[in-house]
Amino acid sequence: MKTDIILAGVGGQGILSIATILGAAALSDNLYLKQAEVHGMSQRGGDVMSCLRLSSSPIASDLIPQGKADLVVSLEPMEALRYIQWLSPQGWIVTNTVPMVNITSYPPMEDITGALDATGRVVSFDMDEVAKEVASARASNMVLLGAAAPMIDIPVDKIENAIREVFGAKGERIVENNLMAFRAGLEKAKAIINR
C-alpha cells in the first residue's frame, strides 16, 4: 500500500488537522508515514501545503516527487490547482469549490474550474454547504477528509476512530459533528466517483 497526498489550503483553514487525523489512523493501521508541513510566515493567510506519505513499506523522502502524488486534497480550489505538477497521471484531485478570496488578483472562477476539470479525475463540491447541512460550517475540513477517504487505502473505521481520538478532548458533540461531516463527504464523493 502506498498513498502520497498533497494537502493544500490557505493558512488558518485547518489542513493540519486533516494531516493529524490521517497520521493517527495510519499509526493505528501500522503504516509508515511521513508528513512535512510548513510553519511560520506562510501561516498568516498565505498558501500552505503539506506532503503526507503513507505506505506499508519504509518511506525515504519527506517530500513527494512531482508527478507522483496519488491525491491532491485541498480546502480551496485555486490552491488545488497550485500543486497540479505533483499529481500522478492516475491521481485524483479532491477539493472544496468555495474560493478564499483574500487577494485582489484572484482569477475568474471559471478559469480555475475549467483547469481543474481538464485533469479528468476531480471530486469537487461546495464542502462548506455540506458541512453546514450536517454539522457546522467549521467542519468543512472533515467533509473534505471524507471526500478523500475512498482514495486512501486505510479502512474507514480506522479514520473514524482517529477523528474520535483527535477531537475527543473537545467533547462528544464536537466528535459527533465531525463524524457526521466526514460521513457526508464520503457519501457525496462516492456518488461523484460512481457517476
Contact residues: other proteins, CB under 8 A: 10-11, 19, 23-24, 27, 32-47, 51, 59-68, 78-79, 81-82, 84-87, 89, 102-103, 105-107, 111-112, 115, 119
Choice between 42 and 133, CB closer to other proteins: 42
Choice between 108 and 195, CB closer to other proteins: 108
In the bound complex, what is the minimum distance in angstroms from residue 192's beta carbon to other proteins? 21
In the bound complex, what is the minimum distance in angstroms from residue 168's beta carbon to other proteins? 16
Choice between 69 and 142, CB closer to other proteins: 69
Q: What is the DSSP string of the chain?
A: -EEEEEEEEETTS-HHHHHHHHHHHHHHTT-EEEEE---SGGGTTSEEEEEEEEESS----SSPPTT-EEEEEESSHHHHHHTGGGEEEEEEEEEE------STTPPPHHHHHHHHHTTS-EEEE-HHHHHHHHS-GGGHHHHHHHHHGGGS-S-HHHHHHHHHHHHGGG-HHHHHHHHHHHHHHHHHHHHHHH-
In the bound complex, what is the minimum distance in angstroms from residue 31's beta carbon to other proteins? 9
Choice between 24 and 149, CB closer to other proteins: 24
